[in-house]
Amino acid sequence: MADTTNLRVNLFDGTRRPFQPNVDVLIHVFNSDIPNKEVRTTFEKGQSFLFEDLPFANSPVDDFRVIAAAEHHYDAGFFPLRMPKNDTRELNLMLIPKSYRFVFNQSAWDQLPVSRPELFAFLGAGADDDAAAKARYEQLMNHNPPALAALLNITTAIGDISLPRDSGTTALSYFRELIWDPASPEAPKQDRFYAYAITELLDQVVAAAERGDFKREALAGLVHHGATQSYKQVQFGEGNVQLTFLENAPAPEGMVKVEADIDYFRDAGSHAILEFIPNHFTQGKTSPVMAYALRWMAAKADQNAPAFNPLYILTG
């Protein structure tokens, strides 16, 4: 009897709860044959779908690509999904409504000291007092929600990285002060933020790259103005943190300026294969909504990764 593999696809919405059971969903499953072969498809209502007895070749062909689509939602997908022999692999996908809004339900300023003390200290640094820190934070929340969403996405992802590996020290603990000035081109944006971190962060990231946890990007200064070095996390296929260092920029004593963002894809190959990405998300800049969905799905697919919770949700 030929070997087979099974796939269960679970769907979630922007609140990270199970998707609506009464909405028709189209799911395509492809393998990595050349050209890609569609091994199964379905169009039906539901939150969870089981695809049984899919072909298994015991080769790189078994890296599956899965795409899900529903009316009034943006498509979701995942690649590569390594399938097991004669067993079932679960995949969790997030379908975001096209008409969405940010709900900062866990990220009020007064909640942060308890839920995210490192983040609270980082965001409060440089303010005259707590009232001033709260005011500038709420200004961002009320007037530029995408920028706050990006800030929460990136700091959450950074906080989930241990430096050194397997230590109790998070990468976020090396950050000291966010650049807040709204008149500056380095103020928080929908795709990145700039901050000062102690110089040990660079040493730790370089060491992490030597261990294979990050990859140094060549010619960083061509893509990031003023950059001297740039490193991308390689833990996930999508939604990895990128830390770019501007060592020649002015910074407080013992610190270095850092540009932090989340990259959609680990490599150009993934980007090409997952060409379902809606143009709405790009518009020349990384969308915090896309970063949110990709990072959440990537973390769900990695059993060793903590659940991604950036302290907000997306509702329709």
pLDDT of residue 276: 40
The structure's pTM equals 0.92
Task: Indicate the residue type of 244.
Answer: T
Q: What is the pLDDT of residue 280?
A: 43
Radius of gyration of the chain, Cα coordinates, nearest whole angstrom = 20
Nearest to 285 by CA among 179, 150, 98: 150
Note whether 122 and 172 are within 8 A (CB).
yes
- Residue 157 tokens, joined: 């992802």
Domain boundaries, the chain: 4-94, 101-315
Pairing of strands 4-12, 88-94: parallel
Which CATH fold topology does 4-94 show?
A: Immunoglobulin-like (2.60.40)
Q: What are phi and psi of 228, to 5 degrees?
A: -110, -35
Those residues with Cβ within 8 angstroms of residue 9's Cβ, 6 or more apart along the chain or in another chain: 27, 48, 49, 51, 66, 68, 90, 91, 92, 93
CA distance 269 to 286: 18
pLDDT one digit per residue (tens) for the chain, 316 residues: 689 999 999 999 999 999 999 999 999 999 999 888 999 999 999 999 999 999 999 999 999 999 999 999 999 999 889 999 999 999 999 999 999 999 999 999 999 999 999 999 999 999 999 999 999 999 999 999 999 999 999 999 999 999 999 898 999 999 999 999 999 999 999 999 999 999 999 999 999 999 999 999 888 877 788 899 999 999 988 889 999 999 999 999 999 999 999 987 655 555 444 434 443 444 556 789 999 999 999 999 998 899 999 999 999 8
pLDDT at position 284: 56
pLDDT at residue 1, rounded to an integer: 64
**Which pLDDT value is given to residue 115?**
96
